[in-house]
Chains A and B, each alone.
Chain A
Amino acid sequence: MAKYIVKRLLISVITIWLLATISFFLLRTLPGNPFQTNQILSIEMQEKMMTYYGLNRPLLEQYITYLSNLIRGDMGYSLKYTNRTVNSIIKTTFPISASLGLKALALALPIGLFLGVASAKKRGQAVDYACVFISVLGVSIPSFILGSFLQYIFALKLKILPMAQWSTPLHTILPTIALALSLLATLTRVMRASMLEVTTQDYVKTAKAKGLTESKITWSHQIRNAMVPILTLLGPMVATVLMGTFVIEKIFAIPGLGQHFVNSITGLDYTMTMGLIVFYGIFMVTANFIVDIAYGFVDPRIRI
Chain B
Amino acid sequence: MKKKIALALVMLLLLAMLAGCTTKGELEDDTKPGISTGAQEFVFGARNDMMTLDVSKMNDESSALVMYAVNEGLIRYSSDQVVMGVAEDYSVSEDGTVYTFQLRDALWSDGKPVTAYDFEYSFLRTLDPETGSSQVGSFDSILNAKAYYNGELTDASQVGIKAVDEKTFEITLIKNDPFFILQLAQGINYYPIRKDYVEQFGANYGAGPESFIGCGPFTLTSWAQASSIVMDKNEKYWDLENIKLNKVTQLIVPDENTLVGMYDLGEVDAVYSISAVQTTLYPDHGNKIGGTLQYLSFNTRSGHVLGNENLRKALSFAISRESVVAAVASPGSEVADSMIDPSIFLVGVAITEQYPNSTGVAPSGDVEQAKAYLQLALSELGLSSASELPAITYVAMDSTAHRQYAEALQARWKDTLGVNVTLSILPVPQAIDSLLKGTFDIFLVSQSTGVNPDTLLKNFTIGNGNNYSGWENQAYSDFMTAAEASTILVDRLSLLQKAEAIILEEAPVAPLWLPGTAYLARDYVKDLHYGRQTGSIEFNYVSIQK
Contact = CB atoms under 8 A, between A and B. Distances in A.
Give the interface size class of chain B: 35 or more
Nearest to A172: B24
A148 B134 contact: no
Contact of B465 (A44, A156, A159, A238): A44
Contacts of B17: 102, 105-106, 109
A167 B31 contact: yes
Interface in A255-304: 255, 259, 266-268, 294, 297-298, 300
Interface in B473-517: none
Contacts of A231: 6, 9-10, 13
A52 B132 contact: yes
Contacts of A18: none
B447 A34 contact: no
B429 A268 contact: yes
B397 interface: yes
A215 B314 CA distance: 81
Contacts of B448: 39
B346 interface: no
B60 A39 contact: yes
B466 A250 contact: no
Contacts of B404: none
A164 B3 contact: no
A242 B57 CA distance: 33
A40 interface: yes
A98 B431 CA distance: 34
A164 B253 contact: yes
Interface in B357-414: 397-398
B182 interface: no
A211 interface: no
A300 B3 CA distance: 10
A42 B429 contact: no
A92 B6 contact: no
B423 interface: no
B436 A93 contact: no
Interface stretch (B76-84, B222-230, B519-527): B222-230
A227 B27 contact: no
B205 A83 contact: yes
A259 B445 contact: no
Contacts of B428: 32, 36-38, 266-267
Nearest to B435: A40
Contact of A298 (B2, B13, B225, B398): B2
A134 B54 CA distance: 51
A167 B28 contact: yes
B432 A238 contact: no
A289 to B, nearest CB: 13
Given A49-B132, A98-B20, A231-B10, A253 B255 contact: yes
Contact of A228 (B6, B28, B433): B6
Contacts of B13: 231, 234, 238
Contacts of A83: 52-54, 57, 203-207, 211
Contacts of B30: 167
Contacts of B434: 31
B252 interface: yes
A151 interface: yes
Interface string B11-54: 00110111011001101111111000000000000000001111
Interface string B52-74: 11100101100000000000000
A31 B27 contact: no
Interface string A13-49: 0000000000000000011111111111111111011
Given A103-B24, A163-B262, A37 B59 contact: yes
B265 A159 contact: yes
Contacts of A33: 429, 433
Given A98-B20, A163-B267, A169-B24, 15 more contacts: A31-B434, A32-B428, A36-B433, A39-B60, A45-B136, A82-B52, A82-B54, A84-B204, A102-B21, A152-B261, A164-B255, A164-B261, A224-B7, A227-B7, A298-B6
7 contacts: A32-B428, A32-B429, A40-B445, A52-B129, A85-B204, A109-B17, A251-B258
Interface of A: 30-46, 48-49, 52-53, 77, 80-85, 88-89, 92-93, 95-96, 98-99, 102-103, 105-106, 109, 148, 151-152, 155-156, 159, 162-169, 172, 224-225, 227-228, 230-231, 234, 238, 250-255, 259, 266-268, 294, 297-298, 300
Interface of B: 2-3, 5-7, 9-10, 13-14, 16-18, 20-21, 24-25, 27-33, 51-54, 57, 59-60, 129, 132, 134, 136-137, 203-207, 211, 224-228, 251-255, 257-258, 261-262, 264-265, 267, 397-398, 427-437, 445-448, 465-466
